[in-house]
Amino acid sequence: MDRMLYLAMSGAKQTMQAQASATNNLANVNTTGFKADLAAARSMPVFGEGHASRVYAMTERPGINFAAGSAQFTGNELDFAINGDGFIAVQSADGSEAYTRRGDMKINANGLLENGAGQLVMGEGGPIALPPSAKIQIGVDGIISVQPLGQAVNTLAQVDRIKLVNPVLKDIQKSEDGLFRMKDGSEAQADAVVQVIPGSLESSNVNAVAEMVNMINLQRQFEMQVKAMKAVEENDESATQMMRMA
């Protein structure tokens, strides 16, 4: 009896966690450069005194969907999307270097370049600072040039170069803040091969319809597991009544 109850209980718990992952994906369907989380369940024996005769389900994130989203033209001189593989180096909230595909840029009150999430964009020597200018140009190689105030249109001065990296995907992991980091805690080296598409943004790679269908299926699984727990309770009550009659 306890085996059935434990199986249904652990299944319901892990189904809720899988649904939380699907909900997070769906909530970020319009987030620039977002990469969807994958979810899978596997059996895990319960170890303790005696033999591991009980097994429960465990939901885990086996990986990330690194498929590129579509590049959408915006015409904004500060926007850019990664062309192919690669990531943009940014400074996370704790000051460490992390990586993202989010390229919706703006200049903050301190003259520093940051993305739509407020993360400072890293250059060759740290966060990129931009001077007052009449025009800003981002090249396909990530080099940022500006037209100084009062200068001719064809007068461009190179300011910095966006740090673009292309680490091996198996060596990075996604953190709770949505940024990617090296598993060993190191910083990825800049890769001159990585290119960008100026004036464009990469959309999220979340398939809204697929995530909705997945959420419906998970909800049905959860309801089945709750019904199984209810059936265990009813069987237990029936068995108790039979023992009282005996």
Structural domain range at position 37 = 2-65+206-245
CB environment 46-60: b (16+ within 10 A), e (fewer): eeeeeeeeeeebebe
Q: Which residues pair with 89 in a beta bridge?
A: 99
Gap between the Cα atoms of 195 and 221, Å rounded: 44
For 23, the enclosing helix (H) or strand (E) is helix 2-27
Same domain as 196, residue 90: yes
Same domain as 210, residue 198: no
Same domain as 60, residue 76: no
Same domain as 173, residue 54: no
How many structural domains comprise the chain?
A: 2
Render pLDDT for 108-147 as a digit per residue (tens, 0 to 9): 999 999 999 999 999 999 999 999 888 899 999 999 999 9
Gap between the Cα atoms of 178 and 26, Å rounded: 14
Same domain as 178, residue 216: no
Same domain as 107, residue 182: yes
Render pLDDT for 51-107 as a digit per residue (tens, 0 to 9): 776 676 676 666 899 999 999 999 999 999 999 999 999 999 999 999 999 999 999
Same domain as 214, residue 195: no
> Is the CB of residue 218 less than 8 Å from the CB of residue 18?
yes
Same domain as 50, residue 96: no
Q: How many Å separate Cα 170 from the centre of its chain?
A: 15
Same domain as 240, residue 135: no
Which residue carries 């086996």 as its tokens?
62
